[in-house]
Amino acid sequence: LVSRARKPEDTVVAVGSVRIGGGTPVIIAGPCSVESEAQTDAVARVIAEHGLGLIRGGAFKPRTSPYDFQGLGVEGLKILREVADRYGLKVVSEIMTPGDLDVAVRYVDIIQIGARNMQNFALLKEVGALSTPVLLKRGMAATIEEFKFAAEYILSHGNPNVILTERGIRTYEKATRNTLDISAVPILKQETHLPVLVDVSHAAGRRDILLPLAKAALAAGADGVMIEVHPDPSVALSDAQQQIDLDTFRRFMAELKTAAPAF
C-alpha cells in the first residue's frame, strides 16, 4: 500500500491548513520535551512569528536511562494543546503505548511513533485503526525496507495518513549521534508515495551542523524538516546538546529560506 508503483501521485497529509507532502516543504519545530507552559509558549511564539503551523514536543519520553526525565505525560499534552491553540498551531507529539492513544487523540494532531517504537507492531496496528495522522520515525537500526514495512502496518490497518521521517541511523561514526542517511530521502520518495521528512536534530545530536543538514534534506527532495528548539538549551531536561535557542532558530529559518526559495 505504501508503494508508488501502486499509487503514483504523492500522498498529501493535511492537518488544518498545513499540507505535508506534494509541495511546499514544512518545518516542524519545538522542544525535545515539554517542560513547562512558559518554555512551550516561548517556542510557540517564534514558530508562529515565522508563519509556521506545527509545533513538536515530547510529553512521553523514550529515555535511555530510567533515571532521566521521563516527560510530563498527559499534563505535557495539555500544555502543548493550550499553547498551540493560543497561536493557531497543530501539535506533533510522541505516544509510546497503545493505552495512551485514547487520551492522546484529544490533544494531539499528529501522533509521532519514535525510532525506538518503529517495530512496536501492536502500537502500529493501533494507530492504523485511527484516522489521526502518524509521523513514523525510522528505527535507529532499521533498513529502508523495514521502515517501509512499518508504514505498511499502519496503512494496512486503515490509516493512510503516514509521514515518514528519516532521523539518522546508528553507525560506527561517533562525530554525530547518528548518521543521517540522506540517500533514504530520494529512495523513499521514489519507492513510496508518502511524505518524507528529515529530523536533523536527532540525526546530528549536535547543534552546529543543523543548517547544512536541513539544506541537504530539502535538496534531496524531503517534504520538510524537524528541528528541536528550546528557549535555553543549556538547562533543557533532555537533548540539551542538540537543541537550538530562539535566536539561532530565527537565523536558521532566514538562511534556509535563502537556500531553498520554494520554501
Q: Total binding residues for Mn ion by CB under 5 A?
A: 2
CA dist 215 and 240 (Å) reads 23
Which of Mn ion, ligand PEP, none binds 148 (CB below 5-8 Å, type-dependent)? none
Of 64 and 190, the one with the shorter C-beta distance to ligand PEP is 64
**Residue 172 CB coordination number (10 Å):** 5
Q: How far is the CB of 262 from ligand PEP (least distance, A)?
A: 25
Which of ligand PEP, Mn ion, none binds 193 (CB below 5-8 Å, type-dependent)? none
Of 32 and 155, the one with the shorter C-beta distance to Mn ion is 32
Of 53 and 114, the one with the shorter C-beta distance to ligand PEP is 114
Q: How far is the CB of 203 from Mn ion (least distance, A)?
A: 11
Residue nearest to Mn ion (CB): 32
Residue nearest to ligand PEP (CB): 114
**Enclosing H/E stretch for 74:** helix 74-87
Of 3 and 132, the one with the shorter C-beta distance to ligand PEP is 132
CA distances 7 to 11, 163, 194, 227, Å, are: 9, 16, 10, 30
Q: Bridge-partner residues for 26, per DSSP?
A: 224
Q: How far is the CB of 140 from ligand PEP (least distance, A)?
A: 7
How many angstroms separate the first and last alpha carbons of the chain?
Answer: 29
Q: How far is the CB of 138 from ligand PEP (least distance, A)?
A: 8
CA dist 249 and 230 (Å) reads 9
Q: How far is the CB of 202 from ligand PEP (least distance, A)?
A: 4
Residues that bind ligand PEP (CB under 6 A): 32, 58, 62, 94, 114-116, 137, 167, 199, 202
Q: How far is the CB of 165 from ligand PEP (least distance, A)?
A: 7
Q: Under the criterion CB under 5 A, does residue 94 sit at the interface with Mn ion?
A: no
Report the length, in residues, of the chain. 263
3-state SS, residue 224 = strand
Q: How far is the CB of 68 from ligand PEP (least distance, A)?
A: 12
Kindly tell me which residue out of 100, 112, 239, 256 binds Mn ion, with binding defined by CB under 5 A: 239
3-state SS, residue 90 = strand
Which residue has 536558521 as its cell numbers? 252
Of 21 and 114, the one with the shorter C-beta distance to ligand PEP is 114
95 Cβ contact list (under 8 Å, min separation 6): 60, 101, 104, 108, 111, 112, 113, 123, 127
CA dist 110 and 11 (Å) reads 16
Of 112 and 161, the one with the shorter C-beta distance to ligand PEP is 112
User: Which burial class, exposed, middle or buried, applies to 102 when counting CB atoms under 10 A from its CB (0-12, 13-18, 19+)?
Assistant: exposed
Q: 56 with 239: CB under 8 angstroms?
A: no
Site string for Mn ion, 27-46 (x = CB under 5 A): -----x--------------
Name the site residues for Mn ion (rule: CB under 5 A).
Answer: 32, 239
